[in-house]
Every structure is written in structure tokens, then in C-alpha cells.
Structure 1
Amino acid sequence: MIRDYSQFLPSSGRVKPVVTKPSKLPSLGWQAFFAQQCDLDAQVNTPPVRVIEVHRNGLHVLGDGIDQLLPPGPEATVGDWLLLDREHPAGSAPLRRKSLFQRRAPGRERKRQLIAANVDTAFITSSCNKDFNIARLERYVALAFEAEVTPVIVLTKADLCPDSAPYQQAALAISSRVIVVTLNALGAEPQERLGDWCRPGQTVAFLGSSGVGKSTLTNALTGTQNVETSGIREDDAKGRHTTTRRQLHFLANGCAVLDTPGMRELQLTDVESGIADLFEDIASLATQCRFTDCRHDSEPGCAIQAAVKTSEITPERLARWHKLVAEERFNASTLAERKSDDKALQKRIRAIQKHKRK
């Protein structure tokens, strides 16, 4: 960008035009939401950077003229924006998130695992084959609703399926608020069918199990083959883990694309409102039950059971709702208990250290 200030000078004097280098931040997904949290004068010493990968030994960040690995320190995930502390990188401060995907971490430890931050659209991906699973899709949709991220169900491998219509109809029945796109992940279809969500400054994420075509779709959008892909097992249509870590890729127009590994286990936590949005028909009926503490099982005056009898709601859908609600409550309570235990432990450690110093 060239700025000519000669019009503000006397006719006898002229200055050389000032050349300013365009900022790289918009091409990394920088938005007004993040800019409002920053002091322009302070950006010289603490410039904003975005986390594009999380490694065991730190965070890979990009910014204006910045491409470096920060040491462990900030609690951040892929997609986060940080104010980089040049003197003490481990103390870099995360900006407030626009959205956050998280789950209960696999295994027995009661911890939360951050999946991705500051995503605008979630492409929830599944295949038109044996791997198609309504309950799994519902989990991802609830996660997106809770994060206030636009969910789009993307059905792949339609070209390998004799009839993809049943898969599309089943996906459409999940929620009236979710668009379903059926396509061939190879060729020009991904750019044509998904382009409306891949605008400059936006961040989109591919979520789903292994082998459904997330990496293939990422390559299709970027127009490269930078992301490794692999096929599926023929016996059960299950995918192999090709992507091993979450990573942001960038389109030429300034859209960020997040490719994620397949998650074998997606335990939901703190998604009460997301589940209510997903099952808004059941949530609405629950307010019409005779008793406020109705368990929607065999109580008299249960509006939900009445809807099942009239086939307004299927028993299978009700069972999935019951399962998600129970799982969410259990995980949320156990994780809150773990957090309380951790605080108590830290308090005891500080007390011991203080006693030793004395």
C-alpha cells in the first residue's frame, strides 16, 4: 500500500511516498472480535499470533513476520490467538475465544481436552457406507451447537454408493437447523459445494471419524496434496488414522481450514444447551409434562412418552437423548469434582511450601 502525503504540503515541497507492508493477520483468520481485545500501541511488544499446531514441546504460531515454536506455558489449542510476549514466550496471553470445542479426555483421568478454538463452521463429515452412524453425528452437532459454531453435515463417498438418498434423509432428520451436503471428495465438488462457508477471514474445521475423507477434503479446498491420505478397510469401512494431529491450513483467499484426526471416543461435557438445541423437539415437550421432575420414563402425564405413542418421536431418538443427557451430566459433575480436587491439592502444596520457608 502506497500513501502519498504531498497534497498536504506546500506546492514547493514534496516527500517520498511511504510504503507500508500489508498485514498478514487477515489471511490467518484475524477478525474484529479479536482486534477489539488488543491495544494497538502494545502490539509492537506483544503482537498477535495464531496457534496452527500443538506439539508436545510447544505451540507452533504464525503472525506478521513471525513463524516460531513457543515453549509450553499458555493453555491453548489449535486456532487460539495469543499476544506474544517476546521476552517471555511461555507467558504469552491467550485472547478471549470466539468458540471452543472440547471433550472429556479418553481414559480414566477426569480431564477436559481442548480440540479447537475460534472455528466459524464445522464440517461434520461421514461416509455413505457402513461407517455412517446417526448417534455419532448427533454428538458432533451438539458440540457445534454448544460452541455456537455453524454445523454442516458433509456426506462423502456418494460416488461409491448405489443410492446415497437414505443416508442424506437420515442426516437431515437430525436437526432442521443443519444443512446436509452430499459430494465426491475428489475433484472440484468440495470447492464448489463448500465454498460459501470458506470465505476470507473464516475458519472451518473438518470433524469426524477416520477414513471419511477429512484430509482429502482439506487437500481439495487448498488445491494441494500436502495432507497425507489413506483408504479404508474393506471389511467394515473403518478408516485408518492418517492425520495424527490437528493442524491449520490456509487457502489463498484467507480462509483457515482445520484438519483433525478421527476421534474414536467423543465424550461430551458441558454441552447441556447444545443437546437441548439438537433435541429441541424433546426439550420443548419436556416442559409440558405434568411433573417438573418427570424422568420421561413411565410417569403419568409425560408429554414425551405420549409423543412416542403417537409416533411423533421415535423410541430410538428418545433413547439417544436419554443417553447423551446422562453422559453430559456425569462428565460435567466428575470434571467439576476433579477441578475442585486439583484446587485443594494446590492449596495444600502452597501451605507446605510456606511452612518450609518459615
Structure 2
Amino acid sequence: MASNKIQRSSSSHAKNFDVFVSFRGADTRNGFTNHLFAALQRKGVVAFRDDRTIEKGDFLESELLYAIEGSEVFIIVFSKDYASSTWCMKELTKIVDWVKEKGRKLLPIFYDVTPSEVRKQSGEFAKAFDEHEERFKDDLEMVKKWREALKRSSGHCGWDVQNKQQYEEIEKVVERVIDILGRNQIWSFGDDLVDMHSRVKQLEELLDLSANHIVRLVGIYGMSGIGKTTLANTLFKEISPQYDAWCYIDDLSKIYLDLGVTSAQKQLLCQVLNQGNMEIHHVSHGTMLMKNRLRHLKTLIVLDNVDQVEQLEKLGLHPEYLGAGSRIIIISTDCRILQNY
């Protein structure tokens, strides 16, 4: 889903990225940040990274400013040499000012330094600022702003990942980003007496149908027989004309039990692509078809009666495989399935 270049819009502060990640490439690019970007992408989060997203030949500084002003969440990966980069310090100063001005969220990650080192500018950070003050002795006010940006950004709640399992810490970061973006919503469908029209409107609000730059997943759970399927069906009929393609699988559990994974993939693809038949030779083939055929389509997908998280995982339907503006609705009697997906 992530674009290979920045798409300009008519609004000077239009939201173009979910997340902007600031990091010192030489320190973390080949390990931690690559894993972080991959984890964000798996969840359908559009993340900006300066070494991938800006095309060669673009005026880098203006494009970075544009990306910062078009991002919702900022992740700062502090490493030993982060402060030695004048580029990183300029970037951080702009981010901190923008966070304060617009109320955006900033999430610091302390990769191989402690929060105290960053906040107090000790250790490698002290050496970096000795060099900055010598190099920019005619503009010490700028260096002072860099120091203040470090203090302010390191004071936000974040993660010290030293001596910890990086995979687990990255998952925590991604979960926090998803919470901030409101990307995945789980709705407890109770048996209180609310008319169907009101329920449909509530679900539409959770889906945030006007947000065409993101892919959103909404889970609905509750005991059997209280109208979850009726609600989803009503909404599906009402909003499906707004989409390029759509699919409603009314009993995913039964398809898995009776026919297997590839049959579920086949039913989904045939509905979305409006084809009468399709050959799927194995599960990975079905996953590849979804990735290649659905990425440019704004798609509405409803999966009803999901009773195992493995059914969702094996189906191979990942948010990043769908076009911008797509929506996925998952219906289950067990909220743990929705939470674990």
C-alpha cells in the first residue's frame, strides 16, 4: 500500500502518511528499523521513510517538511549517533514543533541509548553537541533548539528496547500506533434495544467511510442470535455501491471445515473480481493472487462466523494487499479472535 513517492494534494497539510519514522540510517536501517517498517506495513499502516519514499532528484528538505506536515504519528528511533547527524536534528526540531502546534502523537524508541542519555545529552550525545557547537559557533541558537527538541521528545512515553526482544517491542509499538490511528475497532454487539438504523449508523462511524486514504478493519462480536449478521448485511447492501469491488462470505468457519482454505480464498477472489470460476492450486497461490489483484481496488469485505484466528491468518487477506479506502468487517462470537488478529 505504501506509495513510492509523495502524492501532492490541494491541501497544504493533507494527511499523506499514517506514520513518519525519524532514524539514523547508518545505525539502524539494516536491522531494527527494517523490521519496524515491515511490521507497520503488515498492519496496513502507511509509513514514511526518507530513503525509500522520496525519489532521487527531489529537493529533499522541502519534501521532508511536506511529509512531516502530512503525518499523524511520529516515531523517533534514538541511537548512539542520532544526535551527530545535523539532518536528524533539523528533522527532529521540525517534528517537535509540529507535534506541539497540531497535537500530533510522538513515540520515542531508545534503541541503544537510555532515555536519560537523550534527555541530558550525555555520552555520545555530549560528544555530538561539542562538535555542533564548534561547527555552528555562529548560530548557537539553532544548536540550543536542537537540545530543547531532544529534551522534549525524550520526555514522551516510549520504549527502551535495549536488552529486550526486539520483535516483541516492535509489536508493542505497532499496537500503539494502531490504537492512535483508530485503525482497528472491535464493537461489542449487545442485546440492548436499539433500532437497526441506529446500529448501522454506529457501524458506519466506526468504519470512518470518508477516510479514503486508509484501510480499516472493524470487528463485531457478541453472542449468537442477536443480529450481528443482519446488521452487517444491511450495512453491506447500503454501502457496497461506494466500492470498486465487494465480497460477503456468510460462514467462513463452515467453508474451512467442509472445503478447506483454498475454497475460502477462491470464494473471496471470485466475488471481488466478479469471476465465475478461478483456479487456486495452493494456499500461497491464493495469497499471491490477493496481493497482486486487489491492491488497486477499493474493496469492501465482510467475513461472517469466524471462530478461529487461524482462519483469518491462513486466508492470507492482509490490509496492505487492498487498495486505499478499503474496509474489512469481521464477525465473531469470540472477541479474543478479533484482538489476536
Q: In proportion to residue count, which structure has more strand? A: 1
TM-score, length-normalised on structure 2?
A: 0.31
Q: TM-score, normalised by structure 1?
A: 0.30
Q: Which has the higher contact order (CA 8 A, sep 6+)?
A: 2
By percentage of residues, which structure has more helix?
2
Larger radius of gyration: 1
